[in-house]
Structure 1
Amino acid sequence: MKKNLLLFGISLPLLFMALFENTCYGQHEMINILKKADVLDGAKPQPFFKIPELEAKDGLLEVHLYVGEKVYNFNGDSIKMRTYTYEHLGETYSGNTGPNGVIGPWAPTFRIGKNDRLTVIIHNELPDSSERNYLCSIKKEFTKKMNSESLSKKFKLIIQDASIVKVGTDTPDTLIKIGNLEGAYIETIVKDSSWIIHGRVPCPCPPGKKGSCTKVYIDYPVFLEYNYGTKTNALRIYQDMTHDDGDEHDHNIPHGFSRTNLHMHGFHVSPFQDDIFRNVDPTYSSYYTYDLEDHTSGTMWYHPHIHGSTSIQVASGMSGAVIIKDEFGPEDEALKQASLPAHERLMIFNQIRYDTIIGETPDFNTLERSGDPKGTTINGVAVPKMIMRPGEVQRWRLVHSGFRSTLGLQFPEEATVYQIAVDGILFEKPRLIETLHMAPGNRSDILIQFPAGFKSKGLAVESIDYLPMCEYFETDPLCLADPANSKQEDIMQIIVAGKPMNMEMPDSTTILPDNNHETITYDELVNQDRPRLTQFYVGNNEDSTATVFTVNGEAYDGSKIPDVLVVGDAEQWKITSGNAGHPYHIHVNPFQIRIFGGKKVDPPMWKDVVYVDPTHPAIIYARYVKYWGDFVLHCHILAHEDEGMMQRVRIVRPKGEPND
């Protein structure tokens, strides 16, 4: 009788409820990497936006980064995103406006020298909200009751299992009147022999929880909040999460959506400085100081790396570039000219994802069920228009900061394009390419030129399918441009106009500046016949009740350190995937790709992210230079990392030398 009373007591007009019906991970939406970067539907070309840049002075750069929430008008949607604003030399800037008004999220570029000190002070201004998952929105204004047939399936289950219903501080079992759901607090008790993993679904008891798992409480608080999607107030029902970082089941369930920290992707610095194990809670600040010592010049980037919520923050656009300045000799004049501010273009590729009904992404479950990314932005702009002069050579620094999709680009047939660097490390010589392929986390530097006598009002750089072999074997027929492919979308436009220029283009015979990395030889390896193995795998747990994301069969456990390395050693690793595609990334030291997909890579390619799948394993060589301490390797599909596809790694000094 009590259940019926509660059911009809809360038979509210739940019209326009947007409910995610299946919260179990039996069919995990983000297992597979997306092989093509989608373009926003209906996006119109906009002028290219040059992200503001902060440059070190006298060997120092200090920046205050503020992490908070801001509202954007993004491709016709009003959305609230986690984002950066910043303060430098007493001036505060907002990372959501450009010369053409409000655009998508962006963060400032840092330009520093190879021996400079960079200090970033992170200020967390995110709301200090409880851990909860958004379930649904309810229209607040209504005029009639709804019968049980109008309730969503999920909400029916919530009400039917309800044991206590409260409104504010009222006593339990209050009969909720029409229009008085605001402030309600619904508590359920799950029946015997069930276990709830953060309110996803009733599941059999996990290992270590044998027997009868009784009276597991799940709470559903209700709040009146502004809905950015509909621009009205709405009642939202959430599902409370209880989380314990020390629990073996809890720490790989996405959580901590209001916490943050900072990672400098591509930096060769001490892991004590690039400390991704640090938590910066709401209302707190933290200093990150990076001391570069004869660092490789190149294109790096930064983003949060807080386990449990990295993906939700990067999917909101929280990423920026770091350029470590080149040092050119007299023989590098052509590259030097192309790298001048007038000709250099930095491009941050991002994949924004949000719930279009509520106009935000409050938690990981919402991120997961929001469908594919809404489209790819470049510096916060969908389909930017680049302007080049005939005969001009531009240097494009491309950063793939997307959290899930790979990136393939096809250049106009009239353009000459040379790739000169990957992951911030220059090649020995440029590579002539027609298409470019990047996995999440990769960077690529290219030189592009149109003939001096050529002009056009609009040429397209097109989004194409990512082909992993094309990262290494650019002359393969599959890696050449195919103008007849009707499935391509314009991700960028180029206008070639103005007075012709006569700039020199480096070509495949040009010797590029030294990249500070000496080739690793087989004789140098300390494990020639026994490579270290890393395999990514997505599968079910023992009870087939949840999807698990593993490295070498183990989900992330920060107390375990399977790989202990030694400063000064060089080793080979075999990187594989048991299923699906995964971009492998390891912090601190880059590595050389020696064999990819069973084919020798010649010359070997330096990288810090390599995509692998079941048919494309990789053999890499790595040298552990100078620094020791703890850090991680992980899949750079950041949702996979949040859910356990990560491993702690330790580098120690040679025997007899201190490690503190």
Structure 2
Amino acid sequence: MKITHLILCTPLTLVSGYASANDSSERVLEDPPHMNVTRKHVALLAVPNPTTASTNAPQMQSSNEALFTWELKKTKNKLWNPATKSYDTVILRSYQGTDTQPNTPYIAPTIEVFPGETIRANLDNQLDIDPITHQKPTKDLSCTSDHTDVNKPHCFDGTNMHTHGLWINPAGNSDNVLVSINPGVNFQYEYNIPPDHPTGTFWYHPHRHGSTAIQVASGMAGALVIRGYRQPTLNKTGDLDLLTYGFKERTLVFQQIQYACYDANGNIETDSNGSYICPNNQIGEIRDYQGFGPGEWGKSGRYTSINGEVQPFITQAVAGQVERWRIVHAGIRDSINLSIRQMQNIPSRLDLTPMGEKKLLSESCTGPIVSQHLIAADGLTLKQVMDKTVTVFQPGYRYDALMQFPQEGRYCLIDEAASASANVDRAFSERHLLGIIQVDKATSAPQSLTMALSNNAKQNIAPDMLPAVLQDLQQNLKLSHFVPHQDLPATPYKQFLEFNIDTNADPVQFQVNGKPYQPDRIDRTLELGKTDEWILTSKLASHPFHIHVNPFQVVAVYDPNGKDVSDINAVDDYDKSTTPDPQYRGLKGTWKDTIWVKNVKGASYKVVVRTKYERYIGDFVLHCHILDHEDQGMMQNIRISLPDGNGGITQGHH
């Protein structure tokens, strides 16, 4: 089967009035570029009884190998700035190489593979040449192994690669984030996707301790989609792609590229309000960690981009048609509170300058809200479709949503305002316009979401399981035959983790369990095959917890008064000074790889999760996914070891 991808083109007349004529056609949203995979063969979909399988069932590729090249360079290009109604010239670290696009260099291509396939990726670090002078700069001694202050951001041009959310080997040249690929070094990664790997939406980004934030903030990130069409059976769940096959798909990678211009003293140029400016046609860049702090993203005046475009126009949606949106928060620290509202009182010409944006949001983005029908969290299928009016994305989060627009017209894609207690930046955030959606008139009678999924099931699910799948869909859109992991039982084995920022230390320390990161220290040695229950808290501020390799199942989230706010009908109203926080509601029983550990005015929530260490041994990390916190020490080394057969853990064969 050939997987087709949308190339969104639209006549200029469709977007007239959206922006000035010289930029409107360029800012129509397209999916990120796709890395092409040449496959050796195509195998028919495996079903229990092939003679009765639907002839319309999708096909599946397997036993193939993909070869890509990431060339890491500083790239000169442009980003739209609504404040000036023009493009800013910028020079940022970016991935070039296989299937990258010159017009959008700050979004990496999407990788699409199937379970059982192998990715071979050459990471070629070419960052030792200055793109302006073409001179080789002085050697960065902070990239050397004897660099002493490991938790001070350093080695800005050293790198490596992390496949966020993948269940693969963390060692060697697989998902190994404990290596440094310095300028001038070429290293080949090999990612063997196991045949039983869950399908879903994942992503990839650099993870070299000391430079992770500066590189991800430059746009060095891309989506990684694992597709599959494995049938559900009585003993094994199948792939959700069977139910969404044929729906229009969009991949939306949110990024927060906080470029700046600098004065002669190396300070960021700002106006009287603190917003970043680039006077005298200066070139924007990200030199250091200035501006990576609480509230700084909001003050900077920069805009969240989607697939490398700021405030794009999303076209080719059709009223009543179901679309699958794969949404990735690939920013480094600021929360996104996603909502979609129908636009009313549409002005004859859209002014998207900061003042015009506020007017549009208050006067036009006021129509009925469109439900986001969530089907997967962090790439892993939910037990049933969960409807959200606002979906909260913390850094590292992914959600897959089925979108169905009720009627033709324009819709506002909005980052809603959030209280300080619900926001990574610990500051109240204002509403912002992320983009505008153009929905065309329906070409056929619309179907309900239940009917659309049921029709796909009738086409693609083998006859012996079809009645059970259809019954689930009729009962509140349950997806129980497509959840890739079984519920984990209660366990007496506990792991405790507390995030903290010690502001009394000099310099300030970013800690996990009272200690900043040390690369030569193993903080936890865990046993292969064992299930642990983790209790996550935060002593100061809130932090998104992320652990590599094995995902976890959410057991409960307790507010400081002991109320569980993770149930489907729970209301998180602990902070009486603001509206209830929607982000934990419905997470009980959900599988994820990143979760928000909340602190409100010094009082910590308690997040309880369970995880089982399966298949892979080796060393990897857990950390706060506010990436400048990780670079400054909010990280631990984890080791998974074999049991020794005597009730302990083996320390090696000698």
TM norm structure 1: 0.67
Match of 1:105? 106
Q: Are 1:61 and 2:66 counterparts?
A: yes
CA shift, 1:553, in A, is: 0.9
Asked if 1 retains the 8 angstrom alpha-carbon contact of 2:314 and 2:438, the reply is yes
CA shift, 1:329, in A, is: 4.6
Q: Are 1:363 and 2:287 counterparts?
A: yes
Asked if 2 retains the 8 angstrom alpha-carbon contact of 1:116 and 1:291, the reply is yes
Write the distance in 2 (CA, Å) between the matches of 1:486 and 1:311: 21
**Secondary structure, aligned partner of 1:73:** strand
Match of 2:411? 459
Give 1:349's match in structure 2, choosing from 225, 241, 254: 254
Match of 1:431? 386
Match of 2:325? 396
Report matched runs for 1:279-358 at 5 Å. Answer: 279-293=180-194, 294-327=196-229, 329=231, 336=242, 338-340=244-246, 343-357=248-262
- List per-residue Cα deviations over 1:68-98 (Å, max 9, x = no partner): 01112112211100000122xxxxx44441x
Match of 1:634? 623
Report matched runs for 1:206-225 at 5 Å. Answer: none
**Secondary structure, aligned partner of 1:313:** helix
Write the distance in 1 (CA, Å) between the matches of 2:160 and 2:65: 21
Q: Are 1:650 and 2:639 counterparts?
A: yes
Cα gap change, 1:315 to 1:394, in 2 (>3 Å): same
Cα gap change, 1:54 to 1:243, in 2 (>3 Å): closer
Which amino acid counterpart does residue 52 of structure 1 have in structure 2? P
CA shift, 1:312, in A, is: 0.4
Which amino acid counterpart does residue 277 of structure 1 have in structure 2? L
**Secondary structure, aligned partner of 2:283:** coil
Give 1:415's match in structure 2, choosing from 342, 367, 370: 370
**Secondary structure, aligned partner of 1:640:** helix
Write the distance in 2 (CA, Å) between the matches of 1:51 and 1:486: 28
Cα gap change, 1:496 to 1:414, in 2 (>3 Å): farther
Match of 2:170? 271
CA shift, 1:389, in A, is: 0.6
Which amino acid counterpart does residue 536 of structure 1 have in structure 2? F
Asked if 1 retains the 8 angstrom alpha-carbon contact of 2:140 and 2:155, the reply is no
Asked if 1 retains the 8 angstrom alpha-carbon contact of 2:94 and 2:105, the reply is no
Write the distance in 2 (CA, Å) between the matches of 1:124 and 1:392: 43
Give 1:489's match in structure 2, choosing from 421, 432, 435: 432
Write the distance in 2 (CA, Å) between the matches of 1:644 and 1:400: 22
Which amino acid counterpart does residue 97 of structure 2 have in structure 1? Y
CA shift, 1:653, in A, is: 1.0
- List per-residue Cα deviations over 1:494-540 (Å, max 9, x = no partner): 11114434355146324355232111011xx241xxx2111111123
Q: Are 1:79 and 2:79 counterparts?
A: no
Write the distance in 1 (CA, Å) between the matches of 2:630 and 2:374: 29
CA shift, 1:325, in A, is: 0.2
Q: Are 1:540 and 2:503 counterparts?
A: yes
Cα gap change, 1:275 to 1:392, in 2 (>3 Å): same
Cα gap change, 1:392 to 1:243, in 2 (>3 Å): closer
Give 1:578's match in structure 2, choosing from 539, 551, 554: 539
- List per-residue Cα deviations over 1:324-354 (Å, max 9, x = no partner): 00326599999647443x6000000000011
Match of 1:519? 487
Cα gap change, 1:110 to 1:307, in 2 (>3 Å): same
CA shift, 1:366, in A, is: 4.1
CA shift, 1:241, in A, is: 7.2
Match of 1:19? none
Write the distance in 2 (CA, Å) between the matches of 1:69 and 1:417: 37
- List per-residue Cα deviations over 1:430-461 (Å, max 9, x = no partner): 0111111111001000001023xx211x2102
Write the distance in 1 (CA, Å) between the matches of 2:429 and 2:170: 47
CA shift, 1:285, in A, is: 0.5
Write the distance in 2 (CA, Å) between the matches of 1:585 and 1:110: 22
Asked if 1 retains the 8 angstrom alpha-carbon contact of 2:546 and 2:624, the reply is yes
Which amino acid counterpart does residue 431 of structure 2 have in structure 1? Q
CA shift, 1:127, in A, is: 1.6
Give 1:587's match in structure 2, choosing from 536, 539, 548: 548
Cα gap change, 1:509 to 1:368, in 2 (>3 Å): closer
Write the distance in 1 (CA, Å) between the matches of 2:635 and 2:153: 13
Asked if 1 retains the 8 angstrom alpha-carbon contact of 2:232 and 2:482, the reply is no
Write the distance in 2 (CA, Å) between the matches of 1:541 and 1:469: 22
Match of 1:605? 590
Report matched runs for 1:118-133 at 5 Å. Answer: 118-127=119-128
Cα gap change, 1:74 to 1:389, in 2 (>3 Å): same
Match of 1:553? 514
CA shift, 1:242, in A, is: 5.9
Match of 1:386? 314
Cα gap change, 1:55 to 1:416, in 2 (>3 Å): same
Write the distance in 1 (CA, Å) between the matches of 2:536 and 2:245: 35
Cα gap change, 1:61 to 1:512, in 2 (>3 Å): farther
Write the distance in 2 (CA, Å) between the matches of 1:50 and 1:509: 28
**Secondary structure, aligned partner of 1:641:** helix
Which amino acid counterpart does residue 552 of structure 1 have in structure 2? N
Cα gap change, 1:499 to 1:600, in 2 (>3 Å): closer
CA shift, 1:379, in A, is: 0.2
Write the distance in 1 (CA, Å) between the matches of 2:565 and 2:433: 33
CA shift, 1:55, in A, is: 4.8
Which amino acid counterpart does residue 51 of structure 1 have in structure 2? P
CA shift, 1:48, in A, is: 1.0
CA shift, 1:255, in A, is: 0.7
Specify which structure has the higher proportion of strand: 1
Asked if 2 retains the 8 angstrom alpha-carbon contact of 1:594 and 1:619, the reply is yes
Q: Are 1:49 and 2:30 counterparts?
A: yes
Write the distance in 1 (CA, Å) between the matches of 2:508 and 2:528: 36
Bigger CA drift: 366-375 or 431-440? 366-375
- List per-residue Cα deviations over 1:600-648 (Å, max 9, x = no partner): 6354111100111223331111111111100000010110111111110
What's the Cα RMSD here?
Answer: 3.3
Bigger CA drift: 496-505 or 294-303? 496-505
Write the distance in 2 (CA, Å) between the matches of 1:541 and 1:356: 32
Cα gap change, 1:419 to 1:469, in 2 (>3 Å): farther
Match of 1:622? 611
Q: Are 1:564 and 2:525 counterparts?
A: yes
Cα gap change, 1:95 to 1:512, in 2 (>3 Å): farther
Asked if 2 retains the 8 angstrom alpha-carbon contact of 1:455 and 1:496, the reply is yes
CA shift, 1:589, in A, is: 0.3
Cα gap change, 1:576 to 1:316, in 2 (>3 Å): same
- List per-residue Cα deviations over 1:541-566 (Å, max 9, x = no partner): 54xx3211111111100111121101
Which amino acid counterpart does residue 372 of structure 2 have in structure 1? V
Asked if 1 retains the 8 angstrom alpha-carbon contact of 2:214 and 2:289, the reply is no
Larger Rg: 1
Give 1:505's match in structure 2, choosing from 449, 455, 466: 449
- Number of residue-to-residue matches in the alignment: 482
- List per-residue Cα deviations over 1:334-383 (Å, max 9, x = no partner): 9647443x600000000001123453445324454894251100000112
Asked if 2 retains the 8 angstrom alpha-carbon contact of 1:538 and 1:550, the reply is yes
Asked if 2 retains the 8 angstrom alpha-carbon contact of 1:334 and 1:505, the reply is no
- List per-residue Cα deviations over 1:569-602 (Å, max 9, x = no partner): 0001111111111111000000011111341635
